[in-house]
Structure 1
Amino acid sequence: MASWLLQSISLLAALISVFIIRIVSAVINCRRNRRKAVGIFHPYTNDGGGGERVLWCAVKAIQEESPDLDCVIYTGDHDASPQSLSSRSIDRFGVKLINPPKVVHLYKRKWVEETMYPRFTMIGQSIGSVYLSWEALCKFTPLYYFDTSGYAFTYPVARMFGCKVICYTHYPTISLDMLSRVHTRKSIYNNDDIIAKSWIYGIVGSCTHLAMVNSSWTGSHIQKIWGISDRVKRVYPPCDTSGLQVLPLERSMSPPKIISVSQFRPEKAHPLQLEAFAVVLQNLDVDLPSPKFHFVGSCRNEADERRLQHLKDLARELKVESDVEFHKNVTYSELVQLLGGAFAGIHSMTDEHFGICVVEYMASGAIPIAHNSAGPMMDIVLPEGGKQTGYLAQDVQEYADAILKILRMPESERLEMAAAARKRALRFSEQRFFEDFKDAIRPIFFHSR
């Protein structure tokens, strides 16, 4: 018995040794064959949200700043090609790349899908991202590894492959607000494994050489949790203020149109918007025209499709379906047209890291009504030249009240507020992003080649 046990242990040790040797050998080989390129880890290149806009603007900025570096996109979208991605960046976001990016297809993306982990979702997705990044870096090892999707657990892997690690963090996976809510037993999305992951998140995040953050709120949390204050740079995300600034502030109020632009995800709190709209219709002054509500967003997967259908069902339950329209996966030109016809734009996500859609509302002339937290509160919906630029709200009644205030507002007052909001939106332009982004990456690129 003892002899059998010793033989089994010896065999297991030998297998582990062979496995470790193969891993080390693979890493060494990849490190030796690193390419003169920036590998951009963005598994979902068709999500249609603000994160994808950052991706394409970042690619363009890198191409302008370092034309000798190839831009390679790691994507799990198997139909993606250099030509289709280049066309998509123009059609959906109006961003014209200098050259089509190269593409590395990933076939392990299912391991970062939330549906794979009914429990301990965040930990499961984090471990899955390690596996996915291993596939990416074994297929193509660049000089610079750039994560634009928030997969911090991939950073130690990229360091192991000898890459300089850069990230653009839209939203800290673990925030101080989350930890506070867990301690006070308040419920939030996927909070059952928050505590277990928080300290690990700080360790892996500290592996980045440069962390660009999209807002004051995100920057504060990243500095404290990752402990890398000297490597954090705030770079506001690129908002299409140039294309929207030319829209006329005067617009038809027959009927008045409200717009909501965001992906159909649970944290965007679309049901709250519908409920507020129902309250507006119930309390509408008899001399005011009845408004129409336009939901504009993208669906990443079947879960998003189900959420969209739930919203349509909720509109029927609230008896507002005749005044609500849903627009799925619209083109950039269609989005501009819809924004140009809206008198107000609604945003309702709690602790939205930044809020690109809020800036788009302001630039287009739609007065924003945003959630009173994080990015919209700290960076965006602030006075400009001493004049109010929009409204902040937290619950159904506050949103309804804000909508009614704008509906009841004299046209001259509405135009004055819309003009102030448009002026503030210039602080978050694509041009400002390009300038700040290049300033941030320049020391990393030129000191490591």
Structure 2
Amino acid sequence: MGYAFTYPLFSYIGGSKVACYIHYPTITKEMLTRVARRVITHNNSQRVANNPILTSFKLFYYKVFALLYSHVGKYSDIIMVNSSWTEEHVIQLWNCQLKTYKLYPPCDTEDLKKITHSKTDGPVKIISVAQFRPEKDHPLQLRAMYQLRQIISEELWDNLKLIFIGSTRNEEDEVCVKDMQDLCKHLSLENNVEFKVNLPYEDMKKEFSEGLIGLHAMWNEHFGIGIVECMAAGLIMIAHKSGGPKMDIVIEDPETCRNGFLACDEVEYAQTIKLILHLSQDTKTRISQNAVSSVDRFSMEEFKNGFLTFTQPLFKVMKKSS
């Protein structure tokens, strides 16, 4: 959102010490690379990607912005980042390794860890939790379901349901939901997919208690609180093989410590869902238990302790100056 550009104002003009907590860098080298390669994404429209002149202008703007962003970041005295992925990019842009600290965001997992999974006569549920925004790549999950239908038995398919749970912020997000519903019909998945928009928290917990698999598809998710929530609830998670989920959350090796799975395209997602469906109950239980126990490092208490530790030098300086 560009808040980094206020750092010089407080540091140089106001004479204040500056601490920041970065969830997502405003710009990254990967954004520059995707524009240069003319890849169509949620923040690089088809109109720009298909036009070499517009691409050149956008690339020039991004490079200037990255240069300014790199400069203003150096005015921060303490930099806290929410994941290894964010840490890597911030250090790359701001060249400030000695004052950058990784601090996972606070996830209220204690309540979700209390959820018990009861056997029901209903369908096997795959739960996807994310805001309905283009970058969350819900269409990838629908395409994965389409692929899955080709590789599992009809009996198993008929007993499978993907539940999308998420909130909408505005009319643009509502259009996103409508587009997904249209894609769902186009792929003939309407009998196996449900959309639960702005679902109350208690109802979401009920869905968790009836779920087996958690699904998340955003490329380079900076952290993934929704992933942590699914794992805290005991779901067997499949997340995108990139960003925070790959670097910080999902453990695939060694097999005995596995707490989830990673995939990068619809074929891999489909194959992984099939694999989980055919796992023995003991293996499913072990992965689920590993997932629940692994989220303690993302707790509110861990965040509080880390925040106080990392910001303590600031208060020591303030005390000396007073």
Whether the TM-score (by the shorter chain) exceeds 0.5 is: yes
2:313 aligned with 1:443, yes or no? yes
Change (3 A) 1:331 1:158: farther
Indicate the residue corresponding to 1:331 in structure 2: 200
Match of 1:340 in 2: 209
In structure 1, distance between residues paired with 2:267 and 2:168: 28
Specify the code of the residue in structure 2 equivalent to 1:215.
Answer: S
1:162 Cα deviation (Å)? 4.2
CA distance in 1, matches of 2:218, 2:291: 20
- Describe the SS at the equivalent of 1:322: coil
- Equivalent runs, 1:30-429 vs 2, <5 Å: 126=2, 151-159=3-11, 160-190=13-43, 192=58, 193-249=61-117, 251-252=119-120, 254-288=122-156, 290-383=159-252, 386-429=256-299
Aligned residue number for residue 134 of structure 1: none
Cα distance per residue 1:328-363 (max 9 Å; x no partner)? 223332222222221111111111111111111111
Letter in 2 for 1:241: T
What is the rounded CA distance, in whole Å, between the counterparts of 2:6 and 2:269 in structure 1? 39
The DSSP-based 3-state class of the residue aligned with 2:262 is: strand
* Residues 437/330 of structure 1: CA separation in 2 closer, same or farther (3 Å cut): farther
Distance change (3 Å), C-alpha of 1:401 and 1:183: same
- Distance in 2 (CA, whole Å) between partners of 1:283 and 1:313 is 23
* 1:19-41 per-position Cα deviation (integer Å, ceiling 9, x unaligned): xxxxxxxxxxxxxxxxxxxxxxx
Code of the residue aligned with 1:154 in structure 2: it is T
Match of 1:434 in 2: 304
Q: CA offset at residue 153 of structure 1?
A: 2.1
Q: Secondary structure at the match of 2:257?
A: coil
TM-score by length of 2: 0.86
Letter of the structure 1 residue corresponding to residue 230 of structure 2: Y
Identity value in percent = 41
Consecutive unaligned residues in structure 2, runs of 5 or more = 45-57
1:433 maps to a residue whose letter is F
1:358 is paired with a residue whose SS is helix
Amino acid at match of 2:9: V
TM-superposed CA distance for 1:313, in Å, is: 1.6
Q: Equivalents in 2 of 1:412, 1:306: separation in Å?
A: 42
For 1:347 and 1:194, the matched residues in 2 are separated by 28
Asked if structure 2 preserves the Cα contact closer than 8 Å seen for 1:251 and 1:343, the reply is no
State how far apart, in whole Å, the 1-side matches of 2:304 and 2:149 are: 43
Structure 2 distance, partners of 1:440, 1:266, is: 34
Segments of structure 1 that go 5 or more residues without pairing to the other structure are: 1-124, 127-150
Match of 1:240, SS state, is: coil
Letter paired with 1:316: K
1:218 deviates by: 0.7
CA distance in 1, matches of 2:246, 2:121: 28
Confirm or deny: 8 A CA contact 1:249 1:419 kept in the other structure: no
Q: 1:378, CA displacement in angstroms?
A: 0.9
Read off the aligned partner of 2:304 and give its amino acid letter: F
SS of the aligned residue for 2:179 comes to helix
* Aligned length, in residue pairs: 301
CA 178–257 in structure 1, closer or farther in 2 if over 3 Å, else same: same
AA aligned opposite 1:216:
S
Q: Distance in 1 between matches of 2:161 and 2:6?
A: 44
Conservation of the 8 A alpha-carbon contact between 1:152 and 1:201: yes
Give 3-state SS (helix, strand or coil) of 2:231's partner: helix
Do the aligned partners of residues 417 and 237 (structure 1) sit closer, same or farther apart at CA in structure 2, a change above 3 Å counting? same
- RMSD over aligned Cα, in angstroms? 2.1
Code of the residue aligned with 1:330 in structure 2: it is L
Say which SS state the counterpart of residue 115 (structure 2) adopts.
coil
Report the AA paired with residue 381 of structure 1: V
Instruction: Check conservation: 2:117, 2:210, Cα contact below 8 A.
Output: no
- Give the TM-score normalised by structure 1: 0.63
**Which 10-residue stretch deviates more, 424-433 or 330-339?**
330-339
| 1:268 to partner: Cα distance | 0.5
Residue type of the partner of 1:168?
Y
Distance 2:126 2:37 in 1: 36
Structure with bigger gyration radius = 1
Query: Does the 8 Å CA contact 1:284/1:290 hold for their aligned counterparts?
Result: no
Q: Provide the C-alpha distance between the structure 1 equivalents of 2:162 and 2:6, rounded to a whole number of angstroms.
A: 41
Asked if the contact 2:5/2:69 (under 8 Å) is kept, the reply is: yes
Structure 2 vs 1, CA of residues 362 and 158 (structure 1 numbering), >3 Å: closer, same or farther?
same
